[in-house]
Structure 1
Amino acid sequence: MSIDHDSRLRRLRFRAWHRGFREADLILGPFADVHGPHLSPEQLDTLERLLEESDREIYAWIVGQEPTPETFETDVMALIRAFRFEAHAARPTGDGA
């Protein structure tokens, strides 16, 4: 049975937001919301495989605490890393300035 793109994306977005490790949720959830609709079917495959891994490992790979296994050193991982910095730069600092 084949799943349509929108259903697949909804499922991936849910999985990205509900990792169980808040730091991973706060990167992967917004990434899936912003970039998910623009990912190719192959990139969605890559994201699905990535989401099968441990939250703490994924987070460590994204922030550079641990080397990323070659299997996951993909264009999707590069997009996630770039998104992390873009999202952080766009976040209000709360300093009232």
Structure 2
Amino acid sequence: MEEREKLNRLRWRCTRRAMLEMDLLLGEFLDRLYPSLTPPQADAFVILADMEDLELWPLVNGSRESSDPVQAEVLALLRDVRVK
């Protein structure tokens, strides 16, 4: 699959969520920070984006921590995103 197509699919998963807050947060992260992630961080973000909102939200808001250190790095970056 071509990189552009992969990015388009990821964008769809990030911006067509059940929670509007997650749409906005993940979409902003994808636009601003995703291009600068390391390959392991990008892979971790894809895994996070594939999670259901009810599973992902506690990780994003910090009420639950990830046991994966790379996911934890990405989650810390997500928590710092300010949605316009």
Q: If the length of structure 2 is used for normalisation, what is the TM-score?
A: 0.78
2:68 match:
71
Q: Structure 1 regions of 5+ residues with no counterpart?
A: 92-97
Structure 2: stretches of 5+ with no match in the other structure: none
Stretches of 4+ aligned residues off by more than 4 angstroms: none
Give the number of aligned pairs. 83
For 2:66, the aligned partner's letter is P
Counterparts in 2 of 1:30-69, with a 5 A limit?
Answer: 30-64=28-62, 66-69=63-66
**Residue 70 of structure 1 aligns to which amino acid in structure 2?**
S
Q: Which one scores higher on RCO, CA 8 angstroms, separation ≥ 6? A: 2
Q: Whose radius of gyration is greater, 1 or 2?
A: 1
CA distance in 2, matches of 1:55, 1:79: 18
Cα deviation for residue 63 of structure 1 reads 1.5
Deviations 1:19-46 (A, max 9, x none): 1211211211111111122223222210
**What RMSD over aligned residues (CA atoms) do the two structures have, in Å?**
2.0
Q: Contact between 1:24 and 1:56, CA under 8 Å: does it hold in 2? A: no
**Match in the other structure for 2:16:** 18
TM-score, normalised to structure 1, is 0.69
Identity value in percent: 31
